[in-house]
Amino acid sequence: MKVALTGHRGYVGTVLAPALIDAGHEVLGIDTDLYRHSTFGPAPSEEGITTLQRDIRDVTVDDLAGVEAVLHLAGLSNDPLGDLDPDLTDRVNREATVSLAATAKAAGVSRFVFSSSCSNYGAGVDSWLTEESAFNPQTPYGRSKVDAEAGLHELADDDFSPTYLRSGTAYGFSPRLRFDLVINNLTAWASCTGAVMLKSDGSPWRPVVHVRDMSAAFVATLDVPREVVHDEAFNVGRTSENYQIRDLAEIVASVVPDSTVSFAEGASADTRDYRVNCDKILDRLPTFRPEWTAERGAKELYEAYQRIGVTLEEFEGPTYRRIDHIRGLIDSGRLDSSLCWTETAAEVAS
């Protein structure tokens, strides 16, 4: 199958793209390449991938000629970025997603797999949340995902089939590593300082999912007939992989030698607090069999940090912190306020 993968040079995309190639798909990668200077370790492989360096807001019908499915990862990827400019977050994560889907539909693309989020649920710790549970997003990022799903639902018909993959909090090694994700961040703090640093009181619950299992869910969605996933949402992960943040901290402390859990000054409760049930995806997508646990992922990360090397200044600095990286590009004049490059294509590629 010929698939277009937006955000193929990002945290998830650099893992998902090779997985799609391995599964026998032809991959067109679409990415504006905001994080090309944020590679951690060896450069990501793009073997077998045709690349279109393009903002998702500028994708045309001609760009998607012959594409059978769009897997849509690209967007503003976390709460701090979402808070930078809530209106921009809406334009990129909701408006541009729906516009891209409409373009795909006009191009004859039959399937559209959207990277949504369990952030849609926001705050619902009193019960286990399923795909039928009410939304209660707590941030502009969460609201943008909810509204994008609603817009995609309006486009669904016999010829166009959207699917919504609501992933838990991602973790795990990637060539475009994000250090702002909870397990990645806690393991980095422990590796560099010996302190598993909690910035909240540790009480909130989170579902967590390894980036490789998250990628496997996208591949598995393409393995089933469209009617199985047509206009359907799936919580991505395993029900057993829901943890309180303080439990994740203890897992990291057990993995990283001579580390202990500590709390940042002023650590307080987090309004984002939810547990999700992931049984539906295991039932509907028979080839999706998640393999990772938080403990195994923390070990993988610790080994990568030791092998590649990382300092506190690096992972807390603008190279890897998405919000600081974007602000730096804006302050330097390389991005405008709408996150579009101000350079020529030749300069951007340099």
How large is the average pLDDT for residues 280-289? 97
Confidence of residue 350 (pLDDT cuts 50, 70, 90): very low
Whole-model pTM: value is 0.94
**In whole angstroms, what is the distance from residue 232 CA to residue 113 CA?**
10
List all residues 6 or more positions away from 35 whose beta carbon is below 8 Å from its beta carbon: 9, 10, 176, 322, 325
Spatial contact of 164 and 152, defined as CB atoms under 8 Å apart: yes
pLDDT tens digits for range 53-94:
999 999 999 999 999 999 999 998 866 666 678 899 999 999
Confidence of residue 324 (pLDDT cuts 50, 70, 90): confident
pLDDT tens digits for range 335-345:
998 999 996 54
List all residues 6 or more positions away from 24 whose beta carbon is below 8 Å from its beta carbon: none
Confidence of residue 268 (pLDDT cuts 50, 70, 90): low
In residues, how long is the chain?
350
Domains and CATH numbers, the chain: 2-177+209-243+276-292+334-349 (3.40.50.720)
Nearest residue to 130 via CA among 162, 166, 161: 166
